[in-house]
Amino acid sequence: MARSPPSVSRRLLFAVAVPLVLFFALTIGVLDRVFRQLADVSLRELLTEQVVGLVTAVDMNRDGRMEVNLLDPESRLDVPGSGLYAAVRDQSGQLLWSSPSLSGTGLELGGPLPVGGVEFHYLRARDGTQVAELSRGLQWVYAAGESKDLVFTAADSTEPQRRQLWRFRQQMAGWFGGLVLVLLATMAWMMRRALAPVRRLEQEIAAVEAGAAQGLGAAYPRELAGVTKGLNALLESERNRIARYRDTLGNLAHSLKTPLAVIRASLGTLESAHAQRSAMQLEIDRMAQIVEHQLKRAAAGGGATLGQASVPVLPLVVDLRAALLKVHAHKDLRIDVDVPAELGFLGDTGDILELLGNVLDNACKWCRSRITVTAKLHGARDLSRRLSIAVEDDGAGIASSDRVRVIERGVRADEEVPGHGLGLAMVRETVALYGGQFIIDASPGLGGARVELQLPGR
């Protein structure tokens, strides 16, 4: 079974925890180094003071013999193995004096050192303990005109320093470790709070997949609002597409009823075979046209605006105008177009063609001689706005009582005029898929019908 990938929260926490731990580790290392350097400086100062005290305690008589008079009767220099040691040698390295504390340590303190020289280093005693040693070369004047070059050495065990450094490291590791845990816990809590909208989005998507919800909720942060809006638009588009396929099948079935009824009636009459074939061929051609139209309509966009580029409206209106003038050449038609070139429809090209084609074709059928097409944008100056397309004619118009009825499937205002009564119904359904409005009113300028389509525009 494949392991699921780590969550975003875990990845973020890991991404923050690693640099944080490295930073604190580096900080601990730097502080440890600084502490050790300070301890070394402090130890050198202590040994320097011991050397000065030793110089003060040393005396020589006229025959060159050394006497050491320690002022502190309880000095650690008198206690064997106390950790504090001292020795005096001449320039040849001969030991002139050593403290009783050196007994049994196996340490050899001091060595040849020029006058004014200072030497600091570490030694190992016989028992393995570390000892810091400081030596200084001095010229000792013990009588008028009499002097001697000596090397004064003081040494101290680093064991107390090591224990102190160990305690410091333990405390530092404890404090920094606790601080890391507190910071990680705080960041984990903050990330959980910050990623709560993401978990909510995941739950809502799961609910949509399970069929328990129709879409995603609102009130998401700005960074996720665009995502949720796009997903809702995609879900709505898919629902509209499915509804479009369902309606298309219903339209197809409804449209085929009349041709099938004619064929059935033709088969039951006593007309000649030639007349029957002509009637049946006519109805079969009508059925083929209906099927082709419905298939094209089913393949259109279906109200999808997500990811759609805007479709220029003016070229489509101009092309339809030229085509309709040819189709209705028996009328002396005048179609005026007032559509700005920059206006665009935010949707599928097939949908806007079907909408404009149906509305303009109806206007050409019912007008006397004049039709106007106008379009404009409403709303704020943003990318997605409301596009209004109005088609007016100078015909008899549509009575108020028929304006709701004529947009139902299979209903025609004049049953004597050829048609299926589906054109305006398809227009209403397509406009609804895009969340727009389909308005039928009276034309104030021409006196006939005014049909307005309100759609997404850009």
Is residue 241 assigned to a domain?
no
Average pLDDT over residues 24-49: 86
A 10 A CB-CB count for 202 gives 13
Is residue 219 assigned to a domain?
no
What is the rounded distance in angstroms from the CA atom of residue 67 to the CA atom of residue 106? 23
> Residue holding tokens 């009499």?
146
Predicted confidence at residue 422, as pLDDT, reads 54
> Residue holding tokens 């001969």?
94
What is the rounded distance in angstroms from the CA atom of residue 385 to the CA atom of residue 304? 15
CB 417 within 8 A of CB 398: no
Q: What are phi and psi of 402, to 5 degrees?
A: -100, -10
Is residue 231 assigned to a domain?
no
Element (H, E) at 70: none
Q: What CATH number did the domain enclosing 126 receive? A: 3.30.450
Angle at 76 between CA 73 and CA 77, to 5 degrees: 85
Residue 96 has pLDDT above 80, yes or no: yes
93 conformational bin, left if phi > 0, alpha if psi -120 to 50, beta if neither: left
Name residues whose C-beta falls within 8 Å of residue 210's C-beta, 6 or more positions apart in sequence.
none
Predicted confidence band of residue 280 (pLDDT cuts 50, 70, 90): low
The reply to whether the predicted model has a pTM over 0.95 is no
A 10 A CB-CB count for 431 gives 21
CA 157 to chain centroid, in Å, comes to: 59
What is the rounded distance in angstroms from the CA atom of residue 457 to the CA atom of residue 376? 9
Q: What CATH number did the domain enclosing 451 receive? A: 3.30.565.10
Mean pLDDT taken over the chain: 78
Going by DSSP bridges, is the β-strand pair 334-338/370-378 parallel, antiparallel, or unpaired? parallel
DSSP E strand stretches across 268-421: 310-312, 334-338, 344-346, 370-378, 385-393
Q: Which domain holds residue 104?
A: 10-163
Choose one of 140, 163, 186: the last residue of a domain. 163
Q: DSSP code of 116?
A: T
Choose one of 143, 163, 183: the last residue of a domain. 163
CB 388 within 8 A of CB 375: yes
Predicted confidence band of residue 64 (pLDDT cuts 50, 70, 90): low
Kindly report, residue by residue over 65-79, the tens digit of the pLDDT: 666 776 565 677 777
What is the rounded distance in angstroms from the CA atom of residue 307 to the CA atom of residue 286? 36
Instruction: Please report how many Cα atoms fall inside a 13 Å half-sphere around the Cα of residue 287, on the Cβ side.
Output: 15
Q: What are phi and psi of 119, to 5 degrees?
A: -135, 135
Residue 291 has pLDDT above 80, yes or no: no
Choose one of 163, 191, 212: the last residue of a domain. 163
Predicted confidence at residue 268, as pLDDT, reads 56
Q: What are phi and psi of 87, to 5 degrees?
A: -160, 155
Provide the residue type at 33 as one letter: R
Predicted confidence at residue 391, as pLDDT, reads 93
Give per-residue burial for 302-323: e unless 16+ CB within 10 Å, then b: bbbbeebebbebbebbeebbee
Is residue 52 assigned to a domain?
yes
Residue 138 has pLDDT above 80, yes or no: yes
Residue 418 has pLDDT above 70, yes or no: no
Number of separate domains in the chain = 2
**More confidently predicted of 167 and 300:** 167
What is the rounded distance in angstroms from the CA atom of residue 419 to the CA atom of residue 354? 16
Instruction: Please report how many Cα atoms fall inside a 13 Å half-sphere around the Cα of residue 16, on the Cβ side.
Output: 15
Q: Which range has highest mean pLDDT (99-108, 263-272, 288-297)?
A: 99-108
Residue 302 has pLDDT above 70, yes or no: no
Going by DSSP bridges, is the β-strand pair 84-90/146-157 parallel, antiparallel, or unpaired? antiparallel
Is residue 145 assigned to a domain?
yes
Element (H, E) at 157: strand 146-157
Kindly report, residue by residue over 330-356, the tens digit of the pLDDT: 888 899 999 999 898 888 787 888 888
Is residue 394 assigned to a domain?
yes
CB 373 within 8 A of CB 336: yes
Structure tokens at 365: 């059928």
Helix (H, G, I), strand (E, B) or coil at 153: strand
Is residue 156 assigned to a domain?
yes
Residue 306 has pLDDT above 60, yes or no: no
What is the rounded distance in angstroms from the CA atom of residue 156 to the CA atom of residue 37? 17
Is residue 393 assigned to a domain?
yes
CA R_g for the chain: 51
Predicted confidence at residue 253, as pLDDT, reads 65
